[in-house]
A and B are shown apart, each in its own frame.
Chain A
Amino acid sequence: MLTRRVLPLPGLSSVKISPRRNLGDVVFKYTTLTFAVIVLLLVVLMAYEMYVESKPSLAKFGWDFFTSSTWDPVREEYGALPFIFGTMMSSLLALLIALPLSLGIAIFLSEMAPHWLERALSFLVELLAGIPSIVYGLWGIFVLVPWIRTSVEPLLSTHLGFLPLFRGAPYGFGMLAAGFILSIMILPIISSISRDVLKAVPQGQREASLAIGATKWESIRIILKDAKSGILGATLLGLGRAIGETMAVTMVIGNRPTISLSLFDPGYTMASVLANEFTEATTSMYVSALVEIALLLFVITIIVNILARFLVWSVTKKS
């Protein structure tokens, strides 16, 4: 801390340093503190606001809201199960596609690529992350969905049609398209965080395993084992992104509140029902039910994110 003693310098005898704390300092501290409190209040306010709005629905449906699959605005009966199912199914499908690819990219970037290539590739992956959701959706409607309808789904149904996953008419719009587009969207976040996690593994691990005769791949496997929890964290961050993703999914998933095992069938997610029906919701119970879905989305993504950040932090804090 500052010492408050005044040295008697020649010619500066008039300079006095007040022993009290500078008024400006106090003002400055409390001004910035006010804004920090605003951030704190904002999060509380968000949760409280949605809780108040969804009260009628919470009171009327209780736990049935999460287990009922009736979504009928005409008869004022609301159950969110089809949306919860749709969100889970599309997100898991996205993870299934994106995770192996992202791990491959992370390994390539951190263990194999020369520095210039790593920088160039990282930049391109960053670009992928910067494309707005709505542009993914536009591309999904006019390019991805027709391709899935004419090429992917017929191929899957002829070769793997015996599985319940690949039955039904090939619409194009449906769970498969949603999972596909989500996987492209979460690939940047999973791969870039996994790369950081892999880079945080001490160099000695690589050298030690290579020195006892491991091949490059065997050495990478050991590093992967060290980075396991961080990679799990990166995966969860990607999952959080997939759960909350709205526009692109809404544009390709088909928007029908059904629960079907087939990936060809249209579905609906929590985020896309909000996007589609919020402005059309005429009765207060309808709005209330929709806000309850938003609240659920809020709570789920917060839990997933907290877990993820904790896991990533537990690996990278050491370096």
Chain B
Amino acid sequence: MKAQRRYIPSFHYYKRMLTGRLMLFLCSLSSLVALVPLLLIFFYTVTRGVDYLSLDFFMKMPKPVGETGGGMANAIVGTLVLIATGSAIGLPVGILTGIYLAEFGNGKFGTLVRFLADVLSGVPSIVAGVVAYGLVVIPMKHFSALAGGVAMAILMVPTVTRTTEEMIRLVPHSYREAGLALGIPQWKTTVQIVLRTAFRGIVTGILLAIARIAGETAPLLFTALGNRFWSTALDQPIASLTVFIYDYARAPFEDWNNQAWTAALVLIIIISTLSLAVRFVTRSRYTQR
């Protein structure tokens, strides 16, 4: 029998193989490179923020300029007040619009609203601040927590709308048919069967939206402004963690800079808790099924 001729790879073949290997290596490398800033940011926030992390930070008020120590109790409460105000305005709009889009939104008007919600999600947060300034601050003639809440509500609406719609659409059609077949009116079917099934998903959307606005600074600069004193009134300027970080980071006092790191650490802990809650909510949904 004749021996089979051995295939001798050409130079061209080696070139192709090597280019391939090199490019695949570069792709893997870029994934590693992307993790470097993530690790660095976490590393610095934790190591520099942990020094001032104490009960005082949560319980005490900011000290006057020149004195060291003190905490950010008012800013933590202020951030919570702003989130609550934003949610009170933004959540009803977002959730009910989401329900409309899922239930009746197959026509032209629905498509338009869906499109606008998407467009709204791309609008820079500082623009939301400018709008809230014109809508609330100018008529009231002074900065207020309410104006900050309005700016945050504008930023919440698109996220909540789209997740609510998507979650309702995920509910199997047979559930709805079963309800209607029993003679239950459509609105009751939606509220008591469809919404209850989609509840966890909608909560996920709400938590995501809150996580997003909790870290916002730009829309608060000229709406809620900031406040060094205790205030929870909606018609007065109010402190927030993020604006405190901004002011303290640029201040020429080392003590303030360190407190900015601690505030950043607290902020990241709050946001991570929210996203962990999202994971928890979504995970238990899948294991139930």
Contact = CB atoms under 8 A, between A and B. Distances in A.
B74 interface: no
A126 to B, nearest CB: 8
A247 B124 CA distance: 11
A317 to B, nearest CB: 14
B30 A38 contact: no
Interface in B110-138: 110, 112-113, 116-120, 122-131, 133-135
Contacts of A104: 26-31
Nearest to A22: B185
Given A24-B188, A36-B97, A127-B38, A108 B122 contact: no
A33 B100 contact: yes
Given A36-B113, A244-B123, A271-B124, A135 B101 contact: no
Contacts of B21: 217
Interface in A28-54: 28-29, 31-36, 38-40, 42-43, 45-46, 49-50, 52-53
B96 A31 contact: yes
B127 A36 contact: no
Interface string A291-309: 1001001100110111011
B1 interface: no
B40 interface: yes
Interface residues of B, number: 89
Interface stretch (A163-171, A258-266, A274-282): A274-282
Interface stretch (B55-63, B198-206, B267-275): B267-275
Contact of A298 (B27, B29, B127, B135): B127
A278 B40 contact: no
Nearest to A306: B119
A53 B268 CA distance: 36
Nearest to A125: B34
B215 A279 contact: no
B264 A138 contact: yes
A319 B253 CA distance: 56
Interface SS, B side: helix
| Of listed A112, A126, A127, A304, residue having the most chain B CB within 10 A | A127
A101 interface: yes
Nearest to A31: B96
B130 A130 contact: no
B217 interface: yes
Given A43-B116, A132-B217, A294 B126 contact: yes
A84 interface: no
B103 to A, nearest CB: 7
Contacts, number: 258
B33 interface: yes
Contacts of A40: 112-113, 116
Interface in A65-112: 100-105, 107-109, 112
Contacts of B8: none
Contacts of A102: 30
Contacts of A309: 118
Interface in B205-259: 211, 214-218, 221-222, 225, 242, 245-246, 249-250, 257
Given A25-B187, A36-B100, A278-B133, A42 B249 contact: no
B122 A142 contact: no
B218 A247 contact: yes
B249 A217 contact: no
Contacts of A234: none
Interface residues of A, number: 90
A218 interface: yes
Nearest to B191: A28
A27 B188 CA distance: 11
B236 to A, nearest CB: 16
B181 to A, nearest CB: 9
B119 A43 contact: yes
A35 B92 contact: yes
Nearest to A276: B221
B134 to A, nearest CB: 5
Interface string B66-93: 0000000000000000000000000011
Contact of B20 (A107, A134, A215, A246): A215
Given A25-B185, A135-B267, A138-B264, A128 B28 contact: no
B180 interface: yes
Given A43-B116, A132-B271, A294-B130, A137 B246 contact: yes
8 contacts: A33-B104, A101-B30, A108-B30, A128-B37, A142-B44, A241-B122, A278-B133, A291-B134
Interface of A: 2, 15, 17, 22, 24-25, 27-29, 31-36, 38-40, 42-43, 45-46, 49-50, 52-53, 100-105, 107-109, 112-113, 121, 124-128, 130-139, 141-143, 184, 187, 191, 215-218, 220, 237, 240-241, 243-247, 251, 271, 274-275, 278-279, 290-291, 294, 297-298, 301-302, 304-306, 308-309
